[in-house]
Amino acid sequence: MNQKYLITAAKIYSAVFSPFYAPFWAFMWLFIFSYLRMWPLGYKVFVISIVLLFTVIIPRVTIDLFRRVNKWTHWQLSHREHRHMPYFITIASYIACLVLFMQLNTALFMRGMILATLVTSLICAIVNIWWKVSTHMAGMGGLFGTVIAFSYLFYFNPIVPMCCMLLLAGLMGSSRMLLRQHSLSQVIIGFLIGAFVTMVFILFAWI
């Protein structure tokens, strides 16, 4: 019975912190805890709506339609050999979001967040050809990298949010292994890819 509850909790946690939501959580963090909280509410809602549309709604709906057409279960879709099209759909959505952000002339570090997510997805897609890396942990690593990059850009002490992100990442890694979706090495590599790419591209976009 305890194992059943653990598995249910792991499924819920994996859904709440799905890699699709990583850009959304990053922008929410930015608009709540940085000086950008002073920006007009209407503009923040507009940006968040764009992020949700292109990084969550469009890819999730399209991938689900793709799964239903092929009559695959969610478990079958998670197999390494079936993950190519979901990666393609996600990457295409991120490119569209980035192009729109460029047309709207948004702040460079905001574009950098989308670019970092795009590059992380590309790297995971390439690695997936030979090996199944954890995109959930890549998303958590991206959030961790976002905190570090923002601490450098906006001059705040990152210790507390870093500890919180490491705790959340540890829970995610445990959840993915409990659900038998990934091994420990796949979890660690996914986290490192997300963290490194996000730090580099957010800081690079600012410069």
Q: What per-residue confidence (pLDDT) applies to 29?
A: 85
pLDDT single digits (tens) 84-132:
788 888 999 999 999 999 999 988 888 989 999 999 999 998 998 888 8
pLDDT single digits (tens) 153-195:
888 888 998 999 999 999 999 999 998 888 999 999 999 999 9
Q: What per-residue confidence (pLDDT) applies to 174?
A: 94
pLDDT single digits (tens) 16-44:
888 888 899 889 988 887 778 888 999 99
Helix extents (H) in the chain:
2-16, 22-33, 41-52, 58-69, 74-77, 84-103, 108-127, 135-154, 159-178, 184-206
Other CB atoms within 10 Å distance of the CB of residue 9: 13
pLDDT of 1 > 60? The answer is no
Task: Please state the pTM of the whole predicted model.
Answer: 0.85
